Amino acid sequence: MDGRDGMRAADADRAAVADRLLVALNEGRLDLYEYDERLQRAYAARTYAELEALLTDLPPVTPSQSSVLAPASAGGPAVGPLAGQPDQPDQVPTDGATARWLGGVWLPYLRVIAIVVTIWAVTSLFSRQLLYFWPAWVAGPWGAVLVVRTVTGLTGGEPRRQAIERARRRERKRAKRERRRELRAAESDERDDPQPAG
């Protein structure tokens, strides 16, 4: 047993393993159930040995250009699951990812609270007296849940993970559009260049 195996892992180590598991999910090496199970174990891991056990059956991340499985095309980009994507999750631009994630978490809450406070204010105005501030029963518990979610999400690197996933989805869509364009071009070439009969 390596002396490092028994050492305690840091949050950054857990996040790196989570990123590698996400890559394996996107490559089709893990199904959603396995990914979820391993992700939970990664965030519960205490030592390097526990983290490494989650990756032992996964190959290291290989850039698509140097992959043995990447098709060699004459001057064109490789079209594979990772074609055009950054080689490492660290290279994905995450500008504004935290602000976007916080907006996704908190904006629905703020909209609903604005609506219920407006309803309370209008009913107080029509009754000509200050009514019991019942919106606190909506804002308080929901706000407490969101505070916990925000703290755990920020410490767990959730904004960065979402930015990486968003970039991968964009890249997959772009690759799909490119493939469709190539297929259409090939079909139109076949129509324009009919084979002579016999």
Q: Could you read off the pLDDT of 119-155 as tens digits, one per residue? A: 999 999 999 998 999 999 999 999 999 999 999 888 8
Task: State the chain's maximal CA–CA distance in angstroms.
Answer: 94
Does residue 63 register a pLDDT over 60?
no
Give Cα separations from 109 to 101, 139, 162 (angstroms): 14, 8, 20
Among 67-71, 103-107, 193-197, which is the least confidently predicted range?
Answer: 67-71
Contact status, residue 70 vs residue 64, Cβ threshold 8 Å? yes
Q: Which range among 10-14, 62-66, 78-82, 139-143 has the greatest average pLDDT?
A: 139-143
What is d(CA 34, CA 36) in angstroms, rounded to the nearest whole number? 5
> Smallest Cα–Cα separation from 160: which of 15, 38, 14?
15
What is d(CA 91, CA 144) in angstroms, rounded to the nearest whole number? 34
What is d(CA 119, CA 121) in angstroms, rounded to the nearest whole number? 5
Does residue 71 register a pLDDT over 70?
no
List pLDDT tens digits, range 85-124.
444 444 555 567 888 888 888 999 999 999 999 999 999 9
Q: Is 8 helix (H, G, I), strand (E, B) or coil?
A: strand
Model pTM?
0.44
What is d(CA 98, CA 161) in angstroms, rounded to the nearest whole number? 10
Q: Which pLDDT belongs to residue 2?
A: 59
Which band of pLDDT confidence, cut at 50, 70 and 90, is reported for residue 157? confident
Q: What percent of the chain clears pLDDT 70, i.e. is strictly above it?
A: 78
List pLDDT tens digits, range 18-33.
888 888 888 888 888 8
For 4, residues 6+ apart whose C-beta sits below 8 A from its C-beta are: 48
Q: H/E element holding 78?
A: none
